[in-house]
Structure 1
Amino acid sequence: MTANEINLLGLLQGPRHFTIPIYQRPYSWKLEDCEKLFNDILQVGRDASRKSYFMGSVVYYQATAHAAIGTVPASLVIDGQQRLTTSILLLTAIYRLLKEQGEPVPGVSSEEIRALYLTNQFKTGEMSQRLLLTKRDKETLIAVVNTNPLPEHSSERVRENFEFFQKKVTADNVADLWNGINKLMVVGVSLEAGVDNPQLIFESLNSTGRPLDQADLIRNYVLMGQVPSVQTELYDKHWYPMESAFGEAYSTMFGEFMRDFLTMKAGDLVSIWTVYQHFKNNYAAGRVGAEQVEGLVEELYHHATYYVRLRQPEKEEHAGLRAALERLISLGIGVAYPYLLSAYAASAAGLVSKDGLVEIVEIIEAYLMRRAVCGLPTNTLNSTFASFGNQLKGSDYLTDVKAHFLGMGWARRFPNDMEFRQQFIARDAYHFGKRHFLLSNLENYKRKEFVNIGDYTIEHIMPQNENISEAWQTELGQEWEAVHQKYLHTIGNLTLTGYNSEMSDRPFAEKKMLEGGFIDSPIKLNKSVAAEPVWNETAILKRADMLADWAIAIWPAPQVAEPVAVTEEEVDEEAEEAALVEAGLLEPDPSDEQEQLAI
C-alpha cells in the first residue's frame, strides 16, 4: 500500500479509468453536500492566501485481472467515490459553460477539461469514461459527461446534483471556481493486489465518523471477496433486483430489513446498531465462500421481497393481504415484522395460503389492538414476535399460529372477549394513543363506502368543560359530577363531527337538533346518539356496550379446538415478568428500536 498527498486534478489526469465496483453503494451525496463543497471551493479560489483545500482520501487498487484494459489502467475505488463523482459533475458543469461561452478561463479550455479529466480521449465505449459508476448511476453519468439525453430511468442523485452545479456555475464565478479546483488535494491510497486486504481496509476507513449504511457494509462483505465473475453474477441475479425492489428506500430500509431478518433467524432481538457485526459473525459466518455464498444471497433476496411487501403493501398483488397489511401499518406497529417475514416465507413454501396469511395478519392486528386497549405492557412484544416463528411446530401452520397465540402465558396473553370488553368500555379512549385508528374502524364497521375520519374532529357528547352548565347537570342527573368525571373520555361519550365549534357546550337536545347535529349527521357513530332522548350514565353505557360488540367483531380472538398448553416454565417466567411490570421494576428493553404501540 502506498499513500501520498496529491492534487485532485493530478489524480484524474492521464490515461486512467476509475471504476466503482458493483459491491459499493450508489452515489448518495445530497444537494446540501454539493452546496457546501461548491461554496468551499469558491471561497478557497478567491482567497490568494489559501494554497490548498483537503477533500479527503481516495483509496483504490488495481487487481491483477483488471491490470489493464487496452492501455488504460483500471483502478477499482474502495473509498472516495462520493468525492470523485461530485468532482466529475462539477468539472462537467464547468466544461459545458466554457464550451457555451466560447471564452476559456485563462490557462484552460473546455476541450482540455474534457480530454484531461472527464474522458479517455482515444478510447470508445465505457473505457472512454474517466469514472465509471455502478449499474444504478452509470448510464446517467455517462450521458451527463457526453452531453447526451438522460436515460428514461435516470439516477436522481446524479441528475439533481449536476443540475445544481449547472445553475451555480456562471461566467462571473467560473474563473474563481477553476482556481479553487486547482487547490483541491486528496490523499491517494493505492493498494497492492494480493498483499493488501481491501475488506479490512474498507472497514477501518469507515469505523469512525458517520458510518456507512448497513446495506453498504453487508454488500461489501459478501461481494468484495468474490472473484469478479462471481461478483457480477450475484449482483445481477440477486443483489440488484433486491435494490430495485426497495427502490429509493433501499439505503434506509435495508438496515431495518436486516435487523428484522436476523431477529427472525436468531429468535432473539438484534439491535439496529449491531446488524453488520451480527450478520458477519453469526448468520454469514462460513457462508461467504464460493460454494455457499449464492445460497446466502438468494435467501436474502427472497426475504427482502417479502419485507418490501410488508413495508410497502401496494406492491402486494393479493388484494386481501394488501388491505390487511395497510391496516397494520396504519396501526403504527413494527414489532411484528420479524415473525411476518417468517410467515411470508411459510406461504412461499406452500405451508399456508395467501388467504391464510391474511388471517394471520388480522390476528396480529387483533392481538396488538386488544393488548393496547387493555393497557398491557408493550415491553414483551418484541421478544414475543422475535421467537414466534421458531416456536411453531405443528403440521397445520394456520392452526398452529392460532393455538400459539391463545396458549401464551399471562404477560403475553391474548385478552379474551370479557377482558377486552371491560377495558374497552372503561378506559380513557380520548387519550388513547391510537384513538383515530380505533374510531376509524368503528365508523367503517360493515360500511361498503369508506369514511375518512380525518375530515372530522372528535366530539365529547357530554362536554369537557369543567364548569358544566345547569342544563347538563340536569341531563346527567343527581350524580352529575361523578358521571362527568367517570365517563367524560370513555368511548361511550366520544363521537365524530364536522360541527365541533357549532356544538360546543350546547345542551344535548340542541346538539341533536341543530343543522349538522347528531340527527342530521351522516356519521354512523352518531345514529345511536341521535336515538337517545336523554344523555346520561345509562345512555353512555348502552352505547359503549354496543360499540364493544363492534370492537369484538372487528378484532376477534382466534378460535381453535384446543389451545397449546402453557408449560410450568413459561408460567413461572410470565408470572415473574408480570409481577415486575406491576411493581414498576421492569422497563422496556433499552436495545429495542422498533416502534411500539402507544397506549
Structure 2
Amino acid sequence: MSDWITDSQDEQNFEGLVRDADQIHIPIFQRSYVWKNKQLAELLADIDQVRSGVEETQFMGAIVAYEKPFRGNAVGRMRALEIVDGQQRILTLYVFVMALVECIASFDKDEALELVRLYLLLPSRRGLEITTRIVPAFADRSQFRIIWDRINSPSILQDKLAEVQLLLPPPSGSAEGELLSQYERILRHIKSELSVDPDNSLEHLREMLGIVTGHLSFVHLKLTDASAATKIFERLNFRGVKVGVVDLVRNEVFASLAEDPVNAQRVFDHIWSPFEAAFVGRAEHFFFPYCLIQDSNTRKSELFMQLRASWKGLAPEQMINDMKPLQGPFLAIDQTGYQSGSKEISRRLDRLVRLRRPASVYPYVMSMLLEYERSSIKEKTVVELLDALESFLIRRAIVGLEPTGLHAVFKGLWGQMKNHNVSEFKRQIKARPTIQWPSDGDVKGAIEKRALARANVCGYILVEYDQSLKGDNPPLLPTIEHILPQTLGEGSEWAKVFNKEQHKHMKDLLANVVPLSSPLNSSLQDSPYNVKKARYKKESMFTTPRALADKWAGWNPKSIEQRTKVLAEWAIARWPVSI
C-alpha cells in the first residue's frame, strides 16, 4: 500500500498479517483481554478519521512477535506466530471482523462466508486441531467460543459454515469478560451506524471492513528470539519528549536563517515568540484548520507537507504573516470567545466555546470570522450563521448524535456555500443525507426520554436555561444536582413517592436536574424534597432552583412530567433553527 506511515518493509495491516502467518497464537498464560470502551472509542475514532478523509491510514503502533514451530499434525508446512506484544489490538481487529461478518450475513450469507475464509479461518487441511487464524490465551477461550457459537447459529451462518472446517480452541477461562463485552459493544456501534442510512447498509459495512482490514497499520517487529522482548519493550516504551507540529513548523520557519544568526534571533524574539505565545499552549491545534482553509482535502498525515508546499519561496517573516490573519479567528473559537468590535458575535462565540464545539467546525468558523474582519460580510450575517450553527450542534447533542462525519461537512463548507446565509447553510446540511439535523419532535422526544443528566451537554443547557430566567447570572460553573436522588434508599421519603421503575426512568432526565454550587450540592445529597426546597430558596445563587421551589410544592412523577414539557418547549424556542 502506498500510504503507509513508515517506509519500513515490516509495516502491515490486518489483511497482510493473516496472509503472512497461517496462525497467530497468544501465549497461553498471557494476561486476559482487557480493552474496554475507552480503547474501543479510540479505535472507532481512528476508523472515522479514515472514513471521513482526514487520514488515508491510521498507525496503531508496533506488534512484536516471533515465529514458532507449529504444533500439531497438519499436513504440509504451517507458519505460526507467537504474539509477544500487541494481543489487545490484534484480537480487537479479529472480533471486529467477526462482528462485521455477523452483520453482512443478514444481507448476503455467501459474501459473509467468503470473509470468514479470508480473515477468520484457515483453509481446510487434514490434521488441523484448531482452524481459527487466532488462538487466544487460556483466559479468553470460553468467550472466544461463545462469539463463534453466535456466528455459527442458524440465524447467521450455521448452514454456510458446514462447508468449512470449524475447529475451535477448547473452552477455558470465564464465560463472561471484556472480550465478549467488547464484541457486543462493537455490534451495537455498527448497528447504530446502519440505522442512520439503512438503504446503504451493505455498502457501509463493506467500507468499514475495508478500513479495519486495510487502513489500520502497525509495524510488525519479528524477533529472532523471544528472549529479546525485554530489550524491545525498553526501547519502545522509553519516555521521550514528543515532537509536535509546532516544533516542525518552527524548524521550517528558521531553516533558511541558519547562516544568519543575528537575523534569526531578531525574527525569533520579535515575531515568532509573540506569535507562538499568543496561542497559550494551543498552537498544535491551529495548523490543521489553517491548512484545511487553504486546501480542504488536506489530511492530518499530510499536514506538514502541505505547510511546506504553501510556504515554498517565502521568507520566515512572510510565513508567519501568512498565518497571522487566522490566529485571531482560531483563538476566538478555540478559547477566548471574543471578536474585536462586536459584542453580539462575541456572545455567540462564547456560547460555542462553553458548548465545547467539535474541532471539525473550526475551518468554517475561522473562515467566517476572517471574512468579517476583512469587512466582506456584515455582523448581522455572522450572528445569524453562528446561531444556526449552535442550533445544529445543540440539537444533535440533545438527541445524542456523535460528531462523527462532521469533519467532511465543515472542512470546506465556507468555500462551498454559494451564498453566506442561513438558508444556504441549511441547504448544504440537507444535501448530506447521513448528517442529521434533529427536528422539534426529535428534541422534545429526547428531553422526555433521554438520560441527559449524564450527557456532556447537560451543564451547558442548565446554564443557558438559568440565564433565560430573570435574576443574577453567577460567574462560576455549577454542578449538577439531582432533585430526585440517583440512589433510591429503602424506606426513604423518596421511596414513598417513586417506585423503582419510575426512579430508574426519571432520575437522569433533564427535568430532574438543576444547577447548584458545589458546597450546597454536596450538603444536600439525598435529602427529602421539603429540605431541598427550603435550602434552594434560601441558599442557591442560581435562579433555577429558587424558581423551581416556588413553582412545585412537592416533587413527584407528575412534577417531572410537567417540568419536562416546560423544558422541551423552552429548548426548541431557544435553539429554533432546524430543517
User: SS at 2:485's partner residue?
Assistant: coil
In 2, are the aligned partners of 1:259 and 1:275 still within 8 Å (CA)? yes
In 2, are the aligned partners of 1:245 and 1:305 still within 8 Å (CA)? no
**Counterpart-to-counterpart distance in 1, 2:575 and 2:269:** 39
Aligned residue number for residue 467 of structure 1: 489
Counterparts of 1:428-467 in structure 2, within 5 Å, are 428-447=451-470, 449-452=472-475, 454=477, 457-467=479-489
In the alignment, structure 1 residue 306 sits paired with structure 2 residue 306: no
Residues 462-471 or 419-428, more deviating: 462-471
Aligned residue number for residue 378 of structure 2: 353
Aligned residue number for residue 245 of structure 2: 214
In the alignment, structure 1 residue 279 sits paired with structure 2 residue 304: no
In the alignment, structure 1 residue 416 sits paired with structure 2 residue 443: no
How far is 1:374 from its partner?
Answer: 0.8
Aligned residue number for residue 449 of structure 2: 426
When the two structures are superposed, what TM-score results if normalisation uses the length of structure 2? 0.50
In 1, are the aligned partners of 2:516 and 2:542 still within 8 Å (CA)? yes
In the alignment, structure 1 residue 321 sits paired with structure 2 residue 345: yes
Q: Which amino acid aligns with 2:542?
A: I
User: SS at 2:290's partner residue?
Assistant: helix
Aligned residue number for residue 430 of structure 2: 407
Match of 1:370 among 395, 405, 429: 395
**Counterpart-to-counterpart distance in 1, 2:250 and 2:526:** 61
In the alignment, structure 1 residue 337 sits paired with structure 2 residue 358: no
Aligned residue number for residue 554 of structure 1: 574
In 2, are the aligned partners of 1:262 and 1:283 still within 8 Å (CA)? no
In 1, are the aligned partners of 2:398 and 2:446 still within 8 Å (CA)? yes
**Counterpart-to-counterpart distance in 1, 2:516 and 2:287:** 44
Counterparts of 1:169-180 in structure 2, within 5 Å, are none
**Counterpart-to-counterpart distance in 1, 2:427 and 2:512:** 36
**Counterpart-to-counterpart distance in 1, 2:254 and 2:542:** 57
Aligned residue number for residue 511 of structure 2: 492
Partner deviation per Cα, 1:275-309 (whole Å, 9 max, x = no partner): 212322x544xx4268xx98766432222333233
In 1, are the aligned partners of 2:395 and 2:438 still within 8 Å (CA)? yes
In the alignment, structure 1 residue 538 sits paired with structure 2 residue 569: no
User: SS at 2:473's partner residue?
Assistant: coil
Partner deviation per Cα, 1:195-216 (whole Å, 9 max, x = no partner): xxxxxxxxxxxxxx75755345
In 2, are the aligned partners of 1:373 and 1:424 still within 8 Å (CA)? yes
Aligned residue number for residue 391 of structure 1: 416
Distance 1:336 1:534, change over 3 A: same
How far is 1:544 from its partner?
Answer: 1.4
Query: Percent of aligned positions with the same letter in both sequences?
Result: 19
**Counterpart-to-counterpart distance in 2, 1:248 and 1:297:** 13
In the alignment, structure 1 residue 511 sits paired with structure 2 residue 532: yes
Partner deviation per Cα, 1:5-29 (whole Å, 9 max, x = no partner): xxxxxxxxxxxxxxxxxxxxxxxxx
- Root-mean-square deviation (CA, aligned residues, Å) is 3.8
**Counterpart-to-counterpart distance in 2, 1:365 and 1:342:** 17
Aligned residue number for residue 288 of structure 2: 259
Report the count of equivalent residues: 336
User: SS at 1:420's partner residue?
Assistant: helix
Distance 1:466 1:218, change over 3 A: same
Partner deviation per Cα, 1:297-325 (whole Å, 9 max, x = no partner): 64322223332333352763222323322
Distance 1:497 1:332, change over 3 A: closer
Partner deviation per Cα, 1:190-237 (whole Å, 9 max, x = no partner): xxxxxxxxxxxxxxxxxxx757553453355456448999x969x86x
Q: Which amino acid aligns with 1:244?
A: P
**Counterpart-to-counterpart distance in 1, 2:451 and 2:391:** 19
Structure 1 residues without counterparts, runs of 5 or longer: 1-208, 564-599
**Counterpart-to-counterpart distance in 1, 2:508 and 2:297:** 39
Structure 2 residues without counterparts, runs of 5 or longer: 1-239
In 1, are the aligned partners of 2:279 and 2:331 still within 8 Å (CA)? no
In 2, are the aligned partners of 1:393 and 1:400 still within 8 Å (CA)? no
How far is 1:443 from its partner?
Answer: 1.3
In 2, are the aligned partners of 1:491 and 1:544 still within 8 Å (CA)? yes
**Counterpart-to-counterpart distance in 2, 1:242 and 1:308:** 17
How far is 1:329 from its partner?
Answer: 1.9
Distance 1:517 1:393, change over 3 A: closer
Aligned residue number for residue 131 of structure 2: none
